[in-house]
Structure 1
Amino acid sequence: MEELRQDVGDNSSPSSESTTTATAEELEEWLRAQYNLVTVAQALSKLEEIINNRPDRTTSEVIKIDDAYGRILAEAQTSNCDLPAVRVATKHGYAVLARDGESRRRIIKTSSSDPVSLLSGTCMYMKSGQRVPDEATAVVQMKDVERLIPYRNIILIKINPEIGQNIKDIGSDLSKEKQIVPQFTRIGAAELILLAATGRKEVPVVKPVSVGIFSIGEFLVKPGEPLSPGQVYDSAKISLTALLKDKGFNSIVDFGIVTEDIQLIKMKIEDALKQVDVLVTIGCSNDYDLLKPILVNNFEATIHFENIFIKPGKSTVFATCELEGKQKYLLCLSRNPVTVLVVAHIFLLTLLKGLCNMFQKPCIIPAYVKEEYLLHSRPRAAWATLEWNEWENFARASSRENLDSDKLSSCQGANALVLFPSRAWSDKMSNTYLCASPIK
Structure 2
Amino acid sequence: MNAPVEPTVAACGCDSHAHKLTPLDVAIERGLELASAVDDVEDVALTDAIGRVLAFDATSPIPLPPFDNSAMDGYLVQTADLAGDGPWTLQVIGRIAAGDAGQDKPQSGTALRILTGAPVPAGFDAVVMQEDCEVLGDTITFSRKPAVGQHIRPSGGDAAKGQVVVPAGAEIGARQTGALAAIGAGTVKVRRKVRVAIFSTGSELVQPGDPLGAGQIWNSNRYTLLSLLKKDWIEVVDLGAIPDKPDLLKAALVNACATCDMVITTGGVSVGDEDHMPRLFEEAGGKMQVMKVAIKPGKPIAFGTLDRAIFVGLPGNPVSAFVTWMVIGAPVLEKRAGLMARRAGRMLVRAAGDAKRRPGRIEFRPARYVDNPLTETSEVELMSPEFSGRVALLSLADGLAVIPAECEGVSKGDVLEFIPL
Separation in structure 1 between the aligned mates of residue 354 and residue 54 of structure 2, nearest angstrom: 45
Identify the range of structure 1 (135-144 vs 277-286) with the bigger mean alpha-carbon deviation.
Answer: 135-144
Separation in structure 2 between the aligned mates of residue 418 and residue 156 of structure 1, nearest angstrom: 63
Alpha-carbon spacing, 1:99–1:344, altered in 2? closer, same or farther (3 Å): same
Separation in structure 2 between the aligned mates of residue 258 and residue 40 of structure 1, nearest angstrom: 29
Separation in structure 2 between the aligned mates of residue 196 and residue 363 of structure 1, nearest angstrom: 28
1:215-262 alpha-carbon deviations (Å, 9 max, x no partner): 11212111122222322111111012212326x653212111111112
How far the C-alpha of 1:343 sits from its partner, in A, is 1.0
Amino acid at match of 1:107: I
Separation in structure 2 between the aligned mates of residue 124 and residue 364 of structure 1, nearest angstrom: 51
Question: Are 1:384 and 1:403, in contact at CA under 8 Å, matched by a contact in 2?
Answer: no
Look up the SS of the partner of 1:49 in the other structure: helix
Separation in structure 2 between the aligned mates of residue 110 and residue 312 of structure 1, nearest angstrom: 65
- Identify the match of residue 261 of structure 1 among 232, 237, 245: 245
Counterparts of 1:5-20 in structure 2, within 5 Å, are: none
Separation in structure 2 between the aligned mates of residue 241 and residue 232 of structure 1, nearest angstrom: 18
Separation in structure 2 between the aligned mates of residue 76 and residue 213 of structure 1, nearest angstrom: 32
Look up the SS of the partner of 1:103 in the other structure: strand
Pair 1:129 & 2:112 matched: no
Identify the range of structure 1 (121-130 vs 343-352) with the bigger mean alpha-carbon deviation.
Answer: 121-130
Alpha-carbon spacing, 1:403–1:125, altered in 2? closer, same or farther (3 Å): farther
1:76-127 alpha-carbon deviations (Å, 9 max, x no partner): 2221101121221111112233333311414325799332233234332211
Pair 1:103 & 2:85 matched: no
How far the C-alpha of 1:279 sits from its partner, in A, is 0.6
Structure 1 or 2: larger strand share? 2
Amino acid at match of 1:339: S
Alpha-carbon spacing, 1:369–1:95, altered in 2? closer, same or farther (3 Å): closer
1:12 matched residue in structure 2: none
Pair 1:382 & 2:369 matched: no
Amino acid at match of 2:125: T
Pair 1:168 & 2:150 matched: no
2:282 matched residue in structure 1: 296
Max Rg structure: 1
Separation in structure 1 between the aligned mates of residue 323 and residue 420 of structure 2, nearest angstrom: 10
Question: Are 1:383 and 1:418, in contact at CA under 8 Å, matched by a contact in 2?
Answer: no
2:102 matched residue in structure 1: 115
2:218 matched residue in structure 1: 233
Question: Are 2:355 and 2:411, in contact at CA under 8 Å, matched by a contact in 1?
Answer: no
1:190-228 alpha-carbon deviations (Å, 9 max, x no partner): 222222111112222233321111111212111122222
1:352 matched residue in structure 2: 333
How far the C-alpha of 1:385 sits from its partner, in A, is 4.5
Amino acid at match of 1:436: E
Identify the range of structure 1 (226-235 vs 412-421) with the bigger mean alpha-carbon deviation.
Answer: 412-421
Pair 1:183 & 2:168 matched: yes
2:405 matched residue in structure 1: 421
Separation in structure 1 between the aligned mates of residue 265 and residue 302 of structure 2, nearest angstrom: 10
1:146-170 alpha-carbon deviations (Å, 9 max, x no partner): 222xx4x333344444432222222
Question: Are 1:283 and 1:334, in contact at CA under 8 Å, matched by a contact in 2?
Answer: yes
Separation in structure 2 between the aligned mates of residue 364 and residue 171 of structure 1, nearest angstrom: 35
Look up the SS of the partner of 1:287 in the other structure: coil
Amino acid at match of 2:22: V
1:4 matched residue in structure 2: none
Look up the SS of the partner of 1:186 in the other structure: coil
1:154 matched residue in structure 2: 139
Identify the range of structure 1 (253-262 vs 66-75) with the bigger mean alpha-carbon deviation.
Answer: 66-75
1:3-28 alpha-carbon deviations (Å, 9 max, x no partner): xxxxxxxxxxxxxxxxxxxxxxxxxx
1:308-334 alpha-carbon deviations (Å, 9 max, x no partner): 233321221112111xxxx21111122
- Identify the match of residue 391 of structure 2 among 408, 415, 420: 408
Question: Are 2:349 and 2:418, in contact at CA under 8 Å, matched by a contact in 1?
Answer: no
2:20 matched residue in structure 1: 36
Identify the range of structure 1 (214-223 vs 353-362) with the bigger mean alpha-carbon deviation.
Answer: 353-362
Separation in structure 2 between the aligned mates of residue 40 and residue 179 of structure 1, nearest angstrom: 35
Amino acid at match of 1:92: D
Bigger RCO of structures 1 and 2 (CA < 8 A, at least 6 apart): 2
1:334 matched residue in structure 2: 315
Pair 1:209 & 2:191 matched: no
Alpha-carbon spacing, 1:190–1:271, altered in 2? closer, same or farther (3 Å): same
Which consecutive unaligned segments of at least 5 residues does structure 2 have? 1-16, 83-87
Separation in structure 2 between the aligned mates of residue 404 and residue 384 of structure 1, nearest angstrom: 13
Counterparts of 1:247-286 in structure 2, within 5 Å, are: 250-286=234-270
Question: Are 1:138 and 1:166, in contact at CA under 8 Å, matched by a contact in 2?
Answer: yes
Amino acid at match of 2:93: I
1:283-340 alpha-carbon deviations (Å, 9 max, x no partner): 222233222222121x211111222233321221112111xxxx21111122211111
Look up the SS of the partner of 2:229 in the other structure: helix
How far the C-alpha of 1:274 sits from its partner, in A, is 3.7
Percent identity over paired residues: 25
1:13 matched residue in structure 2: none
Pair 1:199 & 2:164 matched: no
How far the C-alpha of 1:375 sits from its partner, in A, is 2.1
Alpha-carbon spacing, 1:46–1:361, altered in 2? closer, same or farther (3 Å): farther
How far the C-alpha of 1:134 sits from its partner, in A, is 2.3
Look up the SS of the partner of 2:259 in the other structure: coil
Look up the SS of the partner of 2:238 in the other structure: strand
